């Protein structure tokens, strides 16, 4: 894996319905993220946070897109910054913020690697669009925008030439899908490993199978990791919790296997909400996950 890491924060939480993830990037830094990554002999550049025009109340947007203008502006800025980072041959680590930011980061990665593969590590599918979303929250529509399955307002953010191919997407950790999202996964034959399959086959086998599946198509993989994939017993500081998630042992094995693949070219770490956390438990876990993903090993 590239040892030159550029960190950029996007303190955005207007893509979600629960406020607080805007504090995620600064909380991760305050809990030692930069220091811990530097301890791995990585070349770390902290580029700070992109300025975001967050609000405290929801704003009506077009086509059932809540807070559209705020999310669009933030994701466009992130797109430009991540595109710039990749062109300098550094690996971008994007700190969230809610998961709508992936519209900017993944679109930028696709601009540089049209054959990009994406491993989406999340409890949720995030593949609703403006027509089927029950909430209008854009963090639940990220992948539709990235794949060109949403309206022009979303799909055109960043760039609209290189969309993610359905066969280049793999989910790991799903356990909460809307009915319409299940149909989208079936219609586009999207590779997905739910918690049931992880329980049956083990996280190690599932992760290796995901890498094998993508490695036939690409040498460039974007990892987008939502901390809510971890069981809330261990990660209470996130906005859309659901019982029955991954244990720390499972998430560390997953990220260590990904790290060893040498295929990772960009990363999102999202949905850490310190307002909901208990004694920084989730922030510290997220930092340990980042360390594992970037090469920390026990032996």
How many CB atoms are located within 10 Å of the residue 299 CB?
2
Query: pLDDT by residue (tens digit) across 245-296?
Result: 999 999 999 999 999 999 999 999 999 999 999 999 999 999 999 999 999 9
Question: CA distances (Å), 209 to each of 171, 186, 223, 255, in order?
Answer: 11, 19, 15, 14
The segments of the chain whose pLDDT lies below 70 read 298-299
d(CA 39, CA 295): 11
Flag whether 228 is marked binding. Answer: yes
Query: pLDDT by residue (tens digit) across 33-53?
Result: 999 999 999 999 999 999 999
| Sheet with 169-174, edge to edge strand ranges | 43-49, 4-10, 91-96, 264-270, 221-226, 117-121, 169-174, 191-194
**Comparing C-alpha atoms, which of 102, 182, 112 is closest to residue 147?**
102
Flag whether 126 is marked binding. Answer: yes
Question: CA distances (Å), 200 to each of 171, 186, 253, in order?
Answer: 16, 21, 16
d(CA 218, CA 293): 19
Residues in the chain: 299
**Comparing C-alpha atoms, which of 223, 220, 204 is closest to residue 94?**
223
Look at residue 1 in the predicted model and tell me its pLDDT: 84
Choice among 99, 181, 222, 296 that is catalytic: 99
Choice among 13, 83, 98, 122 that is catalytic: 122
**Any catalytic annotation for residue 187?**
no
d(CA 224, CA 227): 10
How many CB atoms are located within 10 Å of the residue 261 CB?
18
pTM for this predicted structure: 0.97
**Any catalytic annotation for residue 58?**
no
**Any catalytic annotation for residue 153?**
no
Look at residue 298 in the predicted model and tell me its pLDDT: 64
**Any catalytic annotation for residue 226?**
yes
Domains of the chain in sequence order: 4-294 (3.40.800.10)
Look at residue 297 in the predicted model and tell me its pLDDT: 80
Choice among 13, 49, 98, 139 that is catalytic: 139
**Any catalytic annotation for residue 180?**
no
Flag whether 122 is marked binding. Answer: yes
Choice among 268, 271, 277, 296 that is catalytic: 271
Choice among 83, 98, 126, 176 that is catalytic: 126
What is the H or E stretch that residue 35 is in? helix 33-38
**Any catalytic annotation for residue 126?**
yes
Look at residue 208 in the predicted model and tell me its pLDDT: 98
Strand partners, 172: 121, 193
**Comparing C-alpha atoms, which of 52, 67, 50, 56 is closest to residue 8?**
50
Flag whether 178 is marked binding. Answer: no
Choice among 36, 83, 98, 124 that is catalytic: 124
């Amino acid at each position: 894996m590239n040892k030159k890491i550029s960190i950029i924060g996007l303190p955005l939480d207007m893509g979600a319905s629960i406020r607080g993830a805007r504090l995620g990037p600064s909380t991760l830094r305050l809990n030692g993220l930069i220091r811990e990554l530097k301890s791995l002999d990585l070349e770390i550049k902290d580029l700070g946070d992109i300025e975001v025009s967050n609000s405290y109340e929801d704003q009506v947007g077009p086509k059932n897109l809540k807070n559209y203008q705020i999310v669009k502006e933030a994701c466009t800025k992130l797109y430009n910054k991540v595109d710039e980072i990749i062109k300098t041959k550094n690996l971008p680590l994007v700190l969230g913020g809610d998961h709508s930011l992936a519209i900017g980061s993944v679109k930028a990665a696709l601009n540089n690697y049209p054959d990009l593969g994406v491993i989406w590590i999340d409890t949720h599918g995030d593949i609703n669009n403006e027509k089927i979303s029950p909430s209008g929250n854009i963090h639940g529509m990220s992948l539709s925008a990235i794949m060109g399955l949403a309206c022009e307002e979303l799909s055109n953010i960043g760039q609209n030439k290189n969309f993610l191919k359905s066969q280049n997407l793999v989910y790991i950790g799903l356990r909460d899908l809307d009915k319409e999202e299940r149909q989208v996964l079936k219609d586009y034959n999207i590779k997905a490993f739910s918690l049931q399959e992880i329980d049956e086959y083990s996280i190690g086998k599932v992760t290796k199978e995901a890498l094998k599946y993508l490695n036939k198509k690409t040498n460039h993989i974007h990892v987008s990791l939502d901390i809510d994939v971890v069981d809330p017993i261990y990660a209470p500081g996130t906005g859309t919790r659901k019982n029955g998630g991954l244990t720390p042992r499972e998430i560390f094995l997953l990220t260590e296997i990904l790290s060893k693949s040498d295929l990772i070219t960009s990363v999102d770490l999202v949905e850490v909400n310190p307002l909901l956390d208990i004694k920084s438990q989730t922030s510290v876990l997220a930092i340990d996950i980042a360390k594992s993903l970037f090469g920390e090993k026990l032996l």
